[in-house]
């Protein structure tokens, strides 16, 4: 039976799983002084169980526990990824033995052999967004908005074209959606003379009518299908949906969710605690947590996505603001704060230059320097 011994890290949840998952062991023994969130450890165990890897958590009251364990498992491999006292002690002990010593290189996103100073695994297994959220100690519950059917090319193409054509006056676009929200909320699509005047004189109506989304006929509003009706109930959903479609259509990313409700709490907290993250993108175990802002981005938006990234992300994850305004020109103070807090910005320049997937890739690769994007 192949065995791996490593130290459990309360902070680096990705480092807890990468060597066990990619080097393929029958059993992994985690050493710990304390575990701050049981849900993190439970999620770790659940993922490894699915890969038929058994897990055991052993509390280290004193260093003799490690000595006894190494004596009982003298052929075990060692993972020294965690930067903790226990890991240092474990490392010092096994240096004198013949054990294989591996670690997960956070910078290069590979697994290395310490003794040989070589990379032993560069193509690592990709976790899903749900698994990553679980490892952070939280649960991905649901989506607030209806996800577009990526197989329905007519709808996805229409959504992209509408946002692209409305982008120069996106405030006007969201104002029009707000009008639609009010009409739909009344429970009837029958229109007053005042409704008709406000709708047909609005340039956004002509964009949507041209693309077959809605039409005013006599004194009634006709919406092409239920999906468009759902989109017309929420002004913010359009930008989220636009980003989701761009990411999914590109084929360059592993996973994506939209309007994700995430529940997180310790076991001793009875009242559920939750938050919503507009879009989450995954690539090569990099997590991109995105806040979509149709118009003005403020300090609260920057701080919120920064906190979400701290709570649910890891050392590879990125906090991102996706906005329909030109932040560098219209909001330079907030733009500067985003840079200082390491919150990446995708704004109107990327949308107008059809470069959203390009910029997202640059963000994941740490090569995006807040330039005004050009194709």
Strand 110-113 to strand 101-105: parallel, antiparallel, or no bridges (unpaired)? antiparallel
Taking the C-alpha atoms of residue 356 and residue 115, their distance in angstroms, rounded to an integer, is 42
What 8-state DSSP symbol labels residue 77?
Answer: E
Taking the C-alpha atoms of residue 261 and residue 52, their distance in angstroms, rounded to an integer, is 30
Lookup: tokens for 178: 């707000």
Q: What is the pTM of this model?
A: 0.90
**Residue 113, helix vs strand vs coil:** strand
What 8-state DSSP symbol labels residue 75?
Answer: T
Taking the C-alpha atoms of residue 330 and residue 327, their distance in angstroms, rounded to an integer, is 5
Share in percent of the chain as helix, strand, coil (round to 5): 40, 25, 35
Decide: 22 and 124 in contact? Cβ < 8 Å.
yes
Lookup: tokens for 368: 């995006």
Strand 3-7 to strand 27-32: parallel, antiparallel, or no bridges (unpaired)? parallel
Which secondary structure element, helix H or strand E, spans residue 104, and what is its range? strand 101-105
**Residue 95, helix vs strand vs coil:** coil
Burial of 224 (0-12, 13-18, 19+ CB in 10 A): middle
Stretches in the chain below the pLDDT threshold 70: 144, 266-272, 328, 330, 370-375
Position 271 scores a pLDDT of 67
Residue 24, sorted as left (phi over 0), alpha (psi -120 to 50) or beta, turns out to be left
Decide: 40 and 47 in contact? Cβ < 8 Å.
no
Position 371 scores a pLDDT of 55
Q: Across-strand partners of 281?
A: 256, 288
Instruction: Give percent above pLDDT 90 in the chain.
Output: 72
Position 344 scores a pLDDT of 92
Angle, to 10 degrees, between the axis of helix 332-340 and the axis of helix 299-312?
20
Decide: 310 and 317 in contact? Cβ < 8 Å.
no
**Residue 211, helix vs strand vs coil:** coil
Position 372 scores a pLDDT of 55
């Amino acid at each position: 039976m192949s065995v791996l011994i490593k130290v459990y890290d309360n902070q680096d949840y990705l480092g807890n799983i990468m060597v066990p998952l990619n080097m393929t062991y029958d059993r992994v023994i985690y050493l710990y002084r304390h575990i701050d969130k049981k849900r993190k450890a439970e999620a770790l165990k659940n993922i490894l169980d699915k890969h038929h890897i058994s897990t055991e958590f052993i509390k280290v009251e004193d260093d003799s526990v490690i000595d006894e364990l190494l004596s009982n498992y003298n052929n075990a491999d060692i993972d020294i990824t965690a930067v903790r006292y226990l890991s240092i002690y474990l490392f010092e002990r096994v240096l004198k033995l013949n054990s294989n010593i591996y670690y997960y290189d956070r910078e290069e996103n590979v697994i290395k052999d310490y003794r040989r100073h070589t990379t032993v695994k560069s193509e690592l297994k990709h976790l899903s967004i749900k698994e990553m959220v679980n490892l952070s100690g939280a649960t991905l519950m649901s989506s607030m908005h209806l996800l577009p059917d990526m197989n329905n090319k007519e709808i996805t193409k229409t959504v992209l074209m509408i946002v692209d054509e409305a982008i120069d006056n996106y405030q006007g676009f969201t104002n029009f959606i707000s009008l639609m929200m009010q009409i739909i909320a009344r429970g009837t699509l029958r229109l007053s003379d005042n409704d008709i005047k406000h709708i047909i004189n609005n340039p956004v109506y002509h964009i949507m009518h041209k693309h077959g989304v809605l039409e005013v006929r006599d004194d009634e509003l006709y919406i092409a299908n239920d999906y468009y009706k759902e989109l017309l109930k929420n002004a913010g959903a359009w930008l989220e949906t636009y980003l989701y479609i761009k990411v999914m259509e590109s084929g360059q990313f592993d996973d994506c969710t939209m309007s994700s409700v995430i529940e997180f709490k310790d076991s001793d907290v009875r009242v559920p605690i939750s938050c919503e993250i507009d879009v989450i993108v995954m690539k090569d175990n990099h997590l991109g947590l995105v806040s979509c802002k149709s118009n003005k981005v403020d300090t609260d938006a920057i701080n919120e996505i920064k906190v979400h990234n701290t709570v649910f992300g890891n050392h590879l994850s990125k906090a991102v603001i996706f906005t329909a305004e030109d932040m560098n020109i219209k909001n330079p103070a907030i733009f500067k704060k985003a840079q200082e807090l390491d919150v990446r910005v995708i704004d109107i320049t990327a949308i107008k230059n059809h470069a959203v997937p390009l910029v997202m890739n640059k963000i994941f690769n740490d090569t995006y320097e807040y330039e005004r994007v050009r194709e």
